[in-house]
Amino acid sequence: MHQITLLFAALYGLFSVIFGAFRAHALKKIVSEDLQKSFETGVKYQMYHAIVLLILSNTLEFSSTLETIMISCFILGTFLFSFSIYGLVLSSAKGKKLRFLGPITPLGGLFLVVAWIMLLVSSF
């Protein structure tokens, strides 16, 4: 699980930088400021959780089910939250908003909340 956590930390960090640059340079030309802010929220949360995964990959022993589930919630939650925002913004830019992605964003947020609660519980 250590390698998987480190892999997702690296991938999320890498794509956060790429998507942040895309937002700063290319997205300005094709979407409104509100949609740019939404996209930026996805980028920020992705980077925050990349850093969390990086730290946890080096501090956890991965000896308990709680730790494994917590890491899974961080990975899945980050993906669902950030990538659904990217999909919503980019599909809106093309004039064909993928509305089915709307409920996925809060589901991703819920996974992140659960992961943070599990981290809190694991500290006791």
Cα–Cα dist 6/57, whole Å: 6
Question: Is residue 99 pLDDT above 90, yes or no?
Answer: no
Tokens of 6: 């480190």
Q: What is the pLDDT of residue 25?
A: 85
**Domain that residue 53 falls in:** 2-122
pLDDT in tens, 42-63: 999 999 999 999 999 999 988 8
The sign of the CA dihedral 13, 16, 22, 23 is negative
Q: What is the mean pLDDT of the chain?
A: 93
> What is the Cα–Cα distance from 32 to 100, expressed in whole angstroms?
21
